[in-house]
Amino acid sequence: MSEDFLKKAIDTITQATEEDNKGKYESALNLYCHGIELFRLCIKYEVQKGNACNAILAKCDEYLNRAEEIKKFLNEKKNKQPVAEGGTSKCKNDDNEESKRLKNQLKCAKS
């Protein structure tokens, strides 16, 4: 059974940009991450070398940068929310872990 990762990735990124434009940033962030993962699979199984691969990698960098911007915005927004008296913020500092994981996967896909 052949998977068409490229078409799925494009459809997912299209949805991500639509959600992004509507201001639905959490949904957009999830879709960007999923789309990047699909592009990574596309590079691994469908388009290993050549101009198409380079174009996909360049677009993935753009999408990853946008996802990082959204994540930063959402974390800042989350940190500005009031904390109950005597309480503490439960915000975790794992936002960079997801970015690092995706960047590492893209680097591996280039090889």
Q: Is 23 left (phi over 0), alpha (psi -120 to 50) or beta?
A: left
**Mean pLDDT on 45-59:** 87
Candidate CATH numbers 1.20.1250.20, 1.20.58.80, 3.40.50.300, 1.10.150.130; the one for domain 1-80: 1.20.58.80
Which is nearest to 107 in space by CA: 46, 52, 43? 43
Q: Is the pTM of this model over 0.85?
A: no
> How confident is the model over 85-99, as pLDDT tens digits?
555 544 444 556 766
pLDDT confidence of residue 46: 86
Both structure tokens of 5: 């990762």
Longest CA–CA span in the chain (Å) reads 58
